[in-house]
């Protein structure tokens, strides 16, 4: 499980879900710098396995992907 901080709320997501979300973010990264940033953050989350705090723009992008 990988933990995220969404505007003060902690949410844990399974690694497979994070991998899927990263793939979706990468797919849209050509047209959105926010999705590109999110893909980088999710990639780091998969390798570091630490609590990830998302800025407002990345949190909104991730919510749209969910």
Please state the pTM of the whole predicted model. 0.88
Question: Strand, helix or coil at 48?
Answer: helix
For residue 10, how many C-alpha atoms fall within 13 Å in the half-sphere facing its CB? 5
Domains in the chain: boundaries: 2-65
> Chain-wide mean pLDDT for the chain?
92
Whether 36 shows a pLDDT value over 90: the answer reads: yes
Residue 66's pLDDT band, with cuts at 50, 70 and 90, is confident
């Amino acid at each position: 499980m990988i933990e995220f901080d969404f505007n003060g709320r902690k949410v844990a997501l399974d690694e497979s879900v994070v991998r899927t979300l990263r793939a979706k973010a990468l797919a849209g990264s050509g047209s959105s710098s926010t999705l590109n940033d999110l893909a980088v953050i999710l990639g780091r989350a998969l390798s570091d396995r630490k609590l990830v705090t998302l800025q407002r723009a990345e949190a909104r992008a991730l919510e749209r992907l969910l």
